[in-house]
Amino acid sequence: MSLPDLTEASLADLVSLEGRTAVITGGAAGIGAAIARRFDEAGAHVTIADLDLAAAEKTASELSRAAAVHLDASNSRQNIEVAEGVVEEHGRLDIWVNNAGIYPFVDLVDMTPEQWHTVISLNLDGVFFGSRAAMRPMVAAGRGVIINLASTAAYGAEGGGIAHYTASKHGVRGFTKALAFELGPSGVRAVALAPTLVETPGTLADRDAISAGMGVENAHDAFAEQIPARRIGYPDDVARVAYFLASDLAAFVSGDTILVDGGLRSR
């Protein structure tokens, strides 16, 4: 099987997600919620799968046709149940975004094996579990896209306190290549996104502690000065690229990790 030639398709058809289904792990807030909004706007049936069911329900209620389900993305069985639920309801699974991730700060010299494993089991094992759940119906249908949230931390160490996170995101980048390599012949694409610092509930919660540690008034403003675009990201900066990658515009893009960083790593 080979990917279809879309040369004759209209732009309107290429950008539409009408009739497609999408699952977004950790989609209740931050980057995941922004991705859910764009996919919904493009016509997809979005399932927001989040540890915080109440928040997922609230985010889904603000969209046109989204559903909310509970998911601990670090649990293999639960990922499979979410995928099976979508196939049961809609008869297809087209897009799966492994977005759920955590970034608790702890210096490496103080890091316990439990702290290490908590991050790896969601940020890396969870990406494998989600991909595994999604790829079965996708391979059977001969189409689908898996999008993984990596980070600019998938390219280098970006500061202290996130060694486990940095290792997990390097792993996501490598795993995405393997996914694309193995699933490509079945018509399934896999890509990853590498945002720089983005203003989300998660990073806002950390900002004051980091500011205090750095001895600056606002760590986000201080970080923005390193970015050629002179600002940090908004969730929708990432969501628009996720949308492009999910759409047929990107039908021949697979295996790579796409930087969404205002030029940070061009330095």
Interface positions with ligand NAD (CB under 6 A) = 25-26, 28-32, 50-52, 55, 71-74, 99-103, 122, 149, 151, 195, 197-198, 200-203
Other C-beta atoms lying within 10 Å of the C-beta of residue 221? 13
CB-count burial class (<10 Å; 0-12, 13-18, 19+) for 193: buried
Of 32 and 144, which CB lies nearer to ligand NAD in the complex structure? 32
The CA angle 191-152-50, to the nearest 5 degrees, is 60
- The one catalytic residue in 103, 165, 234, 243 is 165
What strands lie across the sheet with 188-195, from one edge to the other? 67-70, 45-50, 21-25, 95-98, 144-149, 188-195, 257-260
State the minimum distance, in angstroms, from the CB of residue 199 to ligand NAD. Answer: 7
Residue 245 in contact with residue 253, Cβ under 8 Å? yes
- How far is 172 from 111, CA to CA, in rounded Å? 21
| 149 three-class SS | strand
Of 176 and 200, which CB lies nearer to ligand NAD in the complex structure? 200
Of 145 and 232, which CB lies nearer to ligand NAD in the complex structure? 232
State the minimum distance, in angstroms, from the CB of residue 6 to ligand NAD. Answer: 29
State the minimum distance, in angstroms, from the CB of residue 92 to ligand NAD. Answer: 23
- How far is 251 from 3, CA to CA, in rounded Å? 7
- From first CA to last CA, the distance across the chain in angstroms is 40
Q: Which regions of the chain does DSSP assign to beta strands (E)? A: 21-25, 45-50, 67-70, 95-98, 144-149, 188-195, 257-260
Of 143 and 200, which CB lies nearer to ligand NAD in the complex structure? 200
Residue 165 bears catalytic tag: yes
Of 26 and 137, which CB lies nearer to ligand NAD in the complex structure? 26
> Phi and psi dihedrals of 25, rounded to 5?
-75, 145
Q: Which residues are catalytic?
A: 165
